A and B are shown apart, each in its own frame.
Chain A
Amino acid sequence: MSYNSFIYLFGFLVVAWLLWAFAPQKWRPGVLLGASLVFYFASTKRYIVYILLAAAIAWGVGLLLGRLDALQADTRPALPADRRKPFKKEVGALKKMAVTGGVAAMAGILLFVKYLPFGARVLSQLMESLPGSPVFTVPTLVQPMGLSFFTLMAISYMVDVYRGSCKAAERYWQVLLFLSFWPHVVEGPFDRYGSLSPALLDPPPPSYRNLTFGIQRIVWGLFKKMVIADRANMYVKATFDDWTQYSGAATALGVLLYTLQLYAEFSGCMDIVCGSAELFGVHPAENFRQPFFSASVGEFWRRWHITLGAWLREYVFQPLILSKPMQKFARLCRDKVSPAAARQWPVWTGLGITWALIGLWHGAGWLYLLYGLYYFALQWLGELAEPALLRVLPRLPVWRKARPYRLWQVLRTFVLVNFGMLLFRANGVWAAVDMLRSLTVPYTGSLLIKLDARDMAVLAVGAAILFAVDWLHHRGHQLRAELAVRPLVLRWTVYIAAVLAIMIFGAYGDNYDPAAFIYAQF
């Protein structure tokens, strides 16, 4: 059931909201769980077993950790002073064992289902080069919807309980509701149990504000998806799938439109799911904060797919740097090289591993790995160049806080991100290399590929509206709140105009090929 489908918007969402709104308060979490399971089952059928299992593991580990904490709190004060420290250590070791087992089980399921075919393919290719080696078939496994999302959320739940940053859920259904909550199970955002569960388990009563703000956000998301992303998809599909037919301006426009498509689609999906959750008084974490106003690649990734970056920073990058092997590596660098190397090399090693994982999280393939490492290389080179820039810039007539310099940084980041998008969308490593090469070859054909002049005009106006709304948010405006206090006529003119724009300019019907949500496949 796609988030922009008629059945979701006018069937599922309406029925779920009516049941939720008219149910007694204590039944409302049950309605949310029922709706989430119906949504998930309708999309995945028997593969629902994966999420039921993930919730069971996370709940069981969380419960065990909670019981160990309680045991420590109750028993330790009554112990003789000399026994307290060893007891704390013993309980700590048991907790560590429990969380390690839980994380390993969850990561194991993800690795097995998502990455086993890739690993087997690599192994098979390596073995083929050896004389007389056996050839084996690569297994293919069906990946259940949202596996990469609910697995990471289950891991964060267990680690948060272990660290004491959230309380363990007493009931299985509470964890199951958190993991399967339909607005975030397909494409995220990666929510944390501690911040989402209060609203899920004790939702606020239905309110006019939540209802209207939720609907507005859903409409805005649909505008981005159906007017901009699905229209751009036509051009993008042609230039990326038949890349050998195009070059120069046609390829460059294809890359630019893919960047627009991915942003409009992914952020539009987030608007639809956050708006859906808002109808029920739940506010998932935000995944985008006007990323194209970033002055550096690092800043871009703090504003683009925010919750994935935050998850990897908190549960991979930081623990990796603080791990014993990395501390040993730091000591080795200090003894053999310099204190500066001890400070930097382990961090850059951890960052390289994290970027590789960001790439591979998107899919099991060399191109995704290359995509992650491309951003690592940019960030690393940026850091290496910074001291030299600090020496050179004061001698140049450049004021780093001036608006033109900031604009230059934003444009530079935008161009670098577009190269990343080319890698992300290309049909393989060699196709990406070909496309990069073809950018320098002039294109003499028409730029109206699969789209006519009217489509191009709609795309340009849609992109301008998207840019303007982002700019206003970037300047601190709260557009929905500001619109809510405007006169009735103005408000309804805007609402009706938005709905009409989707109906008239939405890319659907016989001439279009609406794309499935891109991030749903990850």
Chain B
Amino acid sequence: MHTIEEIIAMIEEVKPGLHPAPEEELVKSGKLDSVDIMSLVMALTGEFDIEITPLDLKEENFRTPQAILAMVQRLEEE
């Protein structure tokens, strides 16, 4: 089971200077753009051994660190 701290650490690696809170909005606010999101996806697939498909690339799955964690947990269960 992964933790919110792991997700936040990953976001901080992808986007230096960003230290988001678990419920902080990331997409609409422009804190993560499409390039950052794809870098994050590569980090998630590499570190957590999950498969992310184009269908998972919805705004709601990357809206906050908490939403990203929920997506990771769902994909691990599948």
Contact = CB atoms under 8 A, between A and B. Distances in A.
Contacts of B33: 298, 302
A189 B38 CA distance: 25
Interface residues of B, number: 22
Interface string B23-46: 000000010011100111111011
Contact of B46 (A164, A298, A339, A351): A339
A119 B24 CA distance: 49
Contacts of B17: 386, 390
Interface string A290-327: 00000000110010000000000110011101100001
Interface in A325-355: 327, 330-331, 334, 339-340, 342-344, 346-347, 350-351
Contacts of B47: 339
Nearest to A351: B35
Given A322-B53, A386-B16, A387-B16, A298 B35 contact: yes
A343 B13 contact: yes
Given A317-B34, A346-B42, A340 B55 contact: no
Nearest to A391: B16
Given A163-B55, A298-B33, A319-B54, A339 B38 contact: no
B43 A321 contact: no
Nearest to B43: A343
B46 A347 contact: no
A515 to B, nearest CB: 33
A379 interface: yes
B40 to A, nearest CB: 8
A513 interface: no
B72 to A, nearest CB: 15
Given A330-B46, A334-B46, A322 B54 contact: yes
A180 B62 CA distance: 35
Contacts of B43: 339, 342-343
B8 interface: no
Nearest to A379: B35
Contacts of B53: 322
A327 B39 contact: no
B12 to A, nearest CB: 12
A383 interface: yes
A330 B40 CA distance: 13
B14 interface: yes
A347 B55 contact: no
Contacts of B34: 313, 317-318
A163 B33 CA distance: 23
B52 A343 contact: no
B75 interface: no
Nearest to A313: B34
Contacts of A164: 55
B54 A163 contact: yes
Contacts of A386: 16-17
A471 to B, nearest CB: 20
B14 A343 contact: yes
A200 to B, nearest CB: 25
A367 to B, nearest CB: 25
B57 interface: yes
A49 B78 CA distance: 46
Contacts of A342: 42-43, 46
11 contacts: A163-B55, A318-B54, A319-B54, A321-B41, A340-B13, A343-B40, A343-B42, A346-B42, A347-B39, A379-B35, A390-B16
Given A339-B46, A347-B39, 5 more contacts: A298-B33, A302-B33, A330-B46, A343-B43, A343-B46
- 3 smallest CB-CB distances across A and B, nearest first, come from A343-B42, A343-B43, A390-B17
Interface of A: 163-164, 298-299, 302, 313-314, 317-319, 321-322, 327, 330-331, 334, 339-340, 342-344, 346-347, 350-351, 379, 383, 386-387, 390
